[in-house]
């Protein structure tokens, strides 16, 4: 599942998790290294096809990402 937000933030979850925001954030975590709570939230968001929930899960992984919810898709 890929989500792109109005502020340039991007999340790609396909078992592994990639979080990008311009040049400031570029984080890739292999699926075996994602903490259980975040992995569960990411899986649930993907099953529901819900970009709002996926962003919230990504925000739990790092506190450098603002959790605003404006989105393109």
68 occurs within a structural domain: no
Q: Is the pLDDT of residue 64 over 70?
A: no
Convert the pLDDT of each residue in 29-47 to its tens digit.
Answer: 999 999 999 999 999 999 9
Residue 72 inside a domain? The answer is: no
pTM: 0.81
Are 13 and 30 contacting, i.e. CB atoms less than 8 angstroms apart?
A: no
pLDDT, average across residues 66-73: 52
When the pLDDT of each residue in the chain is averaged and rounded to a whole number, the result is 86
How many domains in the chain? 1
Residue 21: enclosing H or E segment and its boundaries?
Answer: strand 17-21
**Would 66 be classed as within a structural domain?**
no
Position 67 in a domain: no
């Amino acid at each position: 599942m890929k989500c792109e937000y109005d502020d340039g933030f991007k999340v790609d979850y396909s078992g592994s998790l990639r979080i990008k925001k311009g040049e400031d954030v570029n984080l890739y975590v292999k699926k075996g290294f994602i903490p259980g709570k975040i992995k569960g939230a990411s899986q649930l968001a993907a099953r529901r096809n819900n970009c709002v929930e996926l962003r919230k899960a990504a925000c739990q992984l790092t506190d450098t990402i603002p959790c605003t919810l404006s989105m393109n898709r």
